[in-house]
Amino acid sequence: MLRIEVHALPHAATLRCIGRIVLGVECEILRCVAEGRTEANLILDLAQVRAMDAAGLGLLVELHINASGRGQALRIVGASRPVCALMAITSLHSVLNVSDCEEGELDPGGTGSCFAGRYMTA
């Protein structure tokens, strides 16, 4: 199961993923939610992702490529230990934008984020 919480800032959206990003409906819902965001900065918060497989890694790559094509900056933050381990094994940590950051760094005006929605698989 995957739950996605969307927090929107004026120029950034954070997708907080909770659960698993694996082959099947979980990957599909993350793909749909991420591809639907138009903010200049898109942040994937993976701190609460407890499992990921190669399909999930491939989706991160796909989102990275598509975001670049749209002129959108995609950043992965708070990758959990299982996700970090998989990225290290497949050397993706060196090609994707992976870091830890606070939402405030992208909101210099301090207007704060608004909760923009929640998506959840069965």
Binding-site ranges for another protein (CB under 8 A):
22-24, 53-55, 57-59, 61-62, 64-65, 82, 86, 89-92, 94-95
How far is the C-alpha of 12 from the C-alpha of 36, rounded, in Å?
Answer: 13
Least separation in angstroms between CB 62 and another protein? 4
Least separation in angstroms between CB 93 and another protein? 8
How do strand 73-77 and strand 2-8 relate by DSSP bridges?
A: unpaired
Least separation in angstroms between CB 35 and another protein? 13
Look at the chain and count its residues. 122
